[in-house]
Every structure is written in C-alpha cells, then in structure tokens.
Chains A and B, each alone.
Chain A
Amino acid sequence: MSTAFHSDTDSFLGRADVVGLDSLFSAEEKAVALQVRGFVDEHIRPHIARWYDDAVFPHEIVPELGRLGVLGMPYEGHGMPGRSAVEYGLAAQELEAGDSGLRTFVSVQGSLAMGAIHKHGSEEQKEHWLPRMTAGEAVGCFGLTEPGAGSDPASMTTTARQEAGGDWVLNGTKRWIGLGTIADVAIVWAQTGEIGDGRGVRGFVVPTDTPGFTAEAITGKLSMRASIQTELHLEDVRLPADAILPADSAVGLRGPFQCLNEARYGIIWGAMGAARDSFDAVLDYAMQRQQFGVPLASHQLTQAKLADMAVAIGKGYLLAHQIGRAKDAGPLTPAMISAGKLDNCRVAIGIAREAREMLGGNGITLEHSPLRHANNLESVRTYEGTDEVHQLTLGRHLTGIGAFAPAR
C-alpha cells in the first residue's frame, strides 16, 4: 500500500487533506464518517464495478442503509436519526466516495421523498411513511421533472384535478425520476391551476400500487449506471382528498424547491467524496506505476497535477464545511446553496477527469474508479440545477435582475 510512503498524514480524510481539514470536525463527527466508510468498504466497493457494468441497483442494500442511519438523516421525529447537517454531509461524501449512485439513492429517499413528507406532510402521512422509510423498509421517489420541463418546472403539464367528491385525479408524465420502479411511494408535483403558473403546483403522496401509476426504467445511460432513473406515467390516478401535502409551505414551486435545496446540500459534500476517491486512486497508481524506470509519481508533471488536485479538494471541503456549519446554525440562503453546488460539482468532475487521464489506458476500465466517478458526476452536475441555473440564481442574487427567461 502506498500509505507506507505517506505516514505523516493522519487526517480522517486521508492524503488529500493538505490543509488540516481534520481539525474542523469533532470526534463524534469523524466517527460518523468512519462508520459510513466502513459500510462502503464492506458492502459497496467489492461490487460496484459489476453493478455499474451490469447497470444494476443493489436493492438489497436499502435496509442496510436504514440500519446505518443515513435515511432521512438530518431530520428529527417519527424515528428519524436527527443528526446534524455536518454529520449528514460527512456521510454523503463517504457514500459518494463509493459511488454517486449510492449517494443519489440516499438523497432521493431522504432529502426529496422523506423531506417532502417531513416538511409538508400531514401528521398521518408522516406516521404512515417516515418510520418505514427511515428503516429502509419502504422506498420513496420524487416526481418533479418532466420531458419538457427540466430547468423550468413551472412549465410542467402534469395536472391534478379535484372532483366534486373531493378525490384528486392526476394525469401526466414525469421523467428522470430516481427509484421510480422500486418505489413504494411517489411524491408527485402537479399543476392544480393554469399551466405555466408555478403558484398552482401542489404535491401529492401517491402509493405506487395506485391504479394508473406505472414506472419504467430509462435505459442506455452512460452515467450513474448503478442507480435507477425512470419515467413515471400517471393515467387517471385517483387519490383521496387527503393525499395532498397539506402544509402552506407546499403551495407553489417553493414546495419542491425546499426539498431540492436539501438534496443540493448533500451534493455539495458528496461531490468532494467522489473527487477524494479519484485522488486516492490516482495517487496509489502514480506511486506504483513504473514508466521509463521510475514511478509516475516522480515526474514533475504528475506532482503538479496531484498538488492542484489536493488544493482543490481542500477548498471544496472548506466550502462544504462552511455551508454545513451555517446550515446547523440556521436556514441557508439560495445563494449559499448555489455557490456550493455550482463549484463543488465542476471542481469534482475536473479532478475525476484529470485522474482518469493520468491513469492512461488503464483508466478506461472499471478496475479504477476515476472514469466511473467522472461519468457519474455528469449527472450530478446536471441534476438539482445545472451550472447555468446556479449561475443565474447567483446572478439574480448579485444584481437583483432575473435572467432565466428571455426578455420579452
């Protein structure tokens, strides 16, 4: 093991930590990270290349993740773990060091599906779903995006119409929905008012065995292959009146946006986990790979790349840490979330790509993690807001002028 060359670092974040990140976290927080890392080492790393190659999501690990305590991790009540935002962030980066698909599962289940019920649901909805979802006995998905409505969810065309008797009837198609084919419950956002007017959007708790609800997996993915994305079809899905998420906080697009912000928070940390694992993989390789009679690691170009990666990883963790502490102290601003999501994703994908390049031909197989991470991060960079969405969110924050829609 190359750790023999680097016995001087004892940071829990390993050799990538050149800026003393270790000192920013308490012993309890580090213990959370190491516990999740142990799980990833035991249950994920030995199998992830095969899962990715075969495009399989390991459904059987869901209850294990429940036992690990990472589902609905930052929420309290109804049996949920109630850990801090920083602890949740540390767990997210350990999971994503294993694979982005795994962290995505935890985000979809915890931040999106459980988050929606926790923030906006009725007491009955919470009691019915949250304990089982915390334990990993029930899986949730979150249906917001549509084929024609990605960055612009206000243009969604899925409708919810209330009948005289009080029942709701949902119709429409949702796309890119994580876990749809294995979910027991779907949080579906639908238009109750006029299409194009975000104020009429409401959320519904839809058991997936409701007649008219079908889900199919999206195939041919070249990213996050060990994860499930689906298309949901809702054809006259009839729900009782109390299926709507009743809270005032769930009226309009701020309902789903609050959930997305929770997921974005996890991504800020998660992306750094993928970057750190790419760095560790290429550092090991550079120490061992001999060309021209010396290790790759002895070349100046290699050392410069490793140095730039470690510095970038250090800055990414500092950004995540700052946002995590701020979240534990009070609500985050949209600008803070966008700054973290925008930069940590693009920095992480740059590191994973550089690591792939340094691995040469060997870097194109699943034997080494960086290309898998780089390909996964293509999804992570796109979902929960593309670069442009976050740039324009920050741009609006800085200028007071919204530039999302074309000038008319």
Chain B
Amino acid sequence: MASLTPVIEHPDFLLLDEELDADTLALRDRVRSFALEHVEPVINDHWERAEFPYGILPALRETGIVGTYIQGYGCPGMSRLQAGIVAREMGRVDGSVNTFLGVHANLGMGSIYILGDEEQRQRWLPAMARLEKTGAFALTEPAHGSDSVSLETSARRDGDSWIIDGHKRWIGNGAAGDVIVLYARDEADGQVKAFVVEKDDDGRYPEGYSPEVITGKVAKRAIHQADIRIEGLRVPEENRLANCESFAGVNRVLKATRGGASWEALGHGMAAFEIAARYSLEREQFSAPIGSYQLVQEKLATMLSDLVSMQLMCRRMAELAEDDRLTDPMASLVKMTTSRKALAMCREARDLLGGQGLLLEKHIARHMTDMEVVSTYEGTDSMQALIVGREITGISAFTRKHR
C-alpha cells in the first residue's frame, strides 16, 4: 500500500490545531487515545447488539472530561473550544458514546448546574462527575419534538411534593440513568419546571416512572433511548430544580451546550475523510490503487474542502460563544451547514468503499447512520433553515397559525 500522506494522518489541512494551547492539545490527545483504545475496539459489537458499552466508564472517568463546561463540583470547567474538541474527537470514533456524554454531562448535569441551587448541585454533581451516577435529560415528547416548547407533561403541587403525569420519548439513557432531569408544566402557573427523578438505593425507579427502551433503531444503536410513561409520579419539592421558572430555563441549558452537534458532525466528517482516503490507497482495482483514479481524487478533494469549511465554522462558533456573542441564528447556520456536509461526506465515503463499506468492521456505515441522528437532534435541517430564514427576513415562518 502507498504510504499515508500527512493530511490523511491528521486531517487538519489549514493547520487550525497548531493554534491550540498546550492544555487543549493535551485534552485532544487524551480524548483521542481514550476513543481509540477503549471505544473503537468494542463499539461495533455493542452497536450491532444495541447495547451500551458500560465497560468503558472507568476509562472515561480517567480522561477527566465528564462535566465538560461545569466549573467546580469535580468537573473540568472547559472552554467552549475545549468542549468542542471533545465532541469532535468522540464523534470521530463513535456517535453513541458521544451522545451518552451529551445527555449525562452536558444536558443532565448541565440542567442541575444551571437550574439547581447550591445544595442541589452539591447533592448530585460530584457523584455524576465520577460516573458513580449517570444522568438523563427528559424533555421531548411523542407529539413535541421540534416544538418541545409546547410540552404537555404536567406537574401538580401536592403538599411537600409534586405529582407528575405525561409521556416522554427519545430520552437518551432514560431507562438506565440514576438521575433523570424531567421537564413538566406546572398546572398552577402553566410554566415549565424541572424535576429530578432518582433511582432508590436498590436501583429501582419510583412508582409512576415506567421507561421502555426504544427498539428497532437503525442508528446510534449503542445508546439506549427511552419511551417513558409517567403516571402519578411523586417527586419531592426538594428535587425541583430551584431556578427553573419557565421554558427559558430549558433554553439556558440548551444554550450552554449549543454547537455540540456541530462539533460532533465535524468528528464524523473527519472520520469519513480518513476512512475514504486510507481505503483509496489500500484498495486496488485494474492493477492500481483506486486513489490513483481521477474520479476518486476529485471526491477526496471535495470531501477535504467540506471538512475544512466545517473546521473553520466550528472554530469561529466557539470563539463567538466564548465571548457570549453567538446568536441562535449563527448557531443554526453552523448546525445546518455541518450536518449537511458531514452527512454528504459519510455517504460519499460509504459509497467509495463499495461492498466493504456496508460492513461494521469498516466503521463508515456506522458513522453514516449515526450522522442521521446528529442531523435530526439539536434541531432538524428545516428548523435551522427557518431560524436563519427568520433572521434574514424578520418574518417567522414556522407555522401559519399566527398569520
């Protein structure tokens, strides 16, 4: 086989990583090593069996990345750029484990950090940072995906506790997590509040919380998503996150992690380029590596062009977020662009690998189907386009009912 070129060895064509500070470079390499040593060898098997690889959790804890942006409570307090690099390097190897980190740390722990009071933070965050307890973020419902702002799960105050009824769906780790942050609408004032549902000491959920793992998934199979029936679930007042007064609280949590899906898409795109480029040098047809053919070189060049565009956009997005200048439409433009490009790259790479690309062992079909999920979550392509469209025109086009 022809020897690998520098850009295949490290797909950073415009040398953006050379500007990372020493801490961030070390973080990048630590996450990369973890993903290659602990995730890649086991992920295909778990993906096929639709099981989460719990065996990686001790090594994940050792990386020191759990808790991402959270300051204190045993968490690393990363910058936006550092959090992005983590999502990139995880996505570059596997989407399911990255989603686990997302729901456990960024959304589950993030909800407690941003919406909880000091006592609540102390109560849950350190154990979650040590992965002794895992978390989940229960927001979306069967009828409320893109418009989760209209969620229907209800909460009714009853003495020192709350009674919650409703139905949640697509909740990552929602059937196994120890600490579930559940969003419900207070019947008294119509506002969305946040509640923490905990397993008891025997590892059982309280009565009225009935999760079922969604089966038949064809993407991100190694992370379980739950469909959760909630009937007469009693949550003590002390488990209501003290600083969530309305859906604006949800938005604050989402804003703190906004851009994560774009960085993850970038990771999948990097993987697609690396896999395709390596294969083009290995695979010979008509007595020459397929990488020597014009049609293949043109495809690889297009992939690299898309990859560099994504890298630049993600880098700029992190800078703006760090300065608190990142607006919703800006983040939407980046999400829309990175999702489209990464999906196209994965598909092109899958196609380039021919029959081999259909097998788990080559990884690319897993990246490709996992990327379908990234394209949908944190806002579908259409939603992002309409957020940008509203910014361009000043006119909201989400629904016609307000016209």
Contact = CB atoms under 8 A, between A and B. Distances in A.
A379 B358 contact: yes
B288 A364 contact: no
Contacts of B361: 220
B214 to A, nearest CB: 7
B380 interface: yes
B376 interface: yes
Given A152-B285, A361-B145, A404-B286, A387 B351 contact: yes
Given A222-B360, A357-B376, A386-B354, A366 B385 contact: no
B360 A360 contact: no
Interface in A298-330: 298-302
A359 B296 CA distance: 32
Contact of B354 (A150, A302, A405): A150
A386 B356 CA distance: 13
A148 interface: yes
Interface string B348-364: 00110011011111000
B372 interface: yes
Interface stretch (A86-94, A100-108, A117-125, A287-295): A287-295
B295 A391 contact: yes
B369 interface: yes
Given A301-B382, A357-B380, A371-B372, A294 B359 contact: no
A386 B140 CA distance: 40
A357 B375 contact: yes
A291 B399 CA distance: 9
Contacts of A387: 351
B376 A220 contact: no
Interface in A132-190: 145, 148-152, 155, 175-176
A300 B395 CA distance: 14
Nearest to B343: A353
B354 A360 contact: no
Contacts of A148: 284
A223 interface: yes
Interface residues of A, number: 54
A37 interface: no
A367 interface: yes
Contacts of B397: 300
Given A360-B380, A382-B354, A218 B359 contact: yes
B365 A378 contact: yes
Contacts of B288: 405-406
26 contacts: A49-B216, A150-B354, A152-B286, A176-B355, A218-B359, A220-B44, A221-B360, A222-B360, A222-B365, A222-B366, A300-B397, A301-B386, A302-B382, A357-B375, A357-B376, A357-B380, A361-B373, A364-B219, A371-B369, A371-B372, A372-B218, A375-B365, A378-B358, A378-B365, A405-B286, A405-B288
Interface of B: 44, 48, 140, 143-147, 150, 169-170, 214-220, 284-288, 292-293, 295-296, 347, 350-351, 354-355, 357-361, 365-366, 369, 372-373, 375-377, 380-382, 385-386, 397-401
Interface of A: 49, 53, 145, 148-152, 155, 175-176, 196, 218, 220-224, 290-294, 298-302, 353, 356-357, 360-361, 363-367, 371-372, 375, 378-379, 381-383, 386-388, 391-392, 404-406
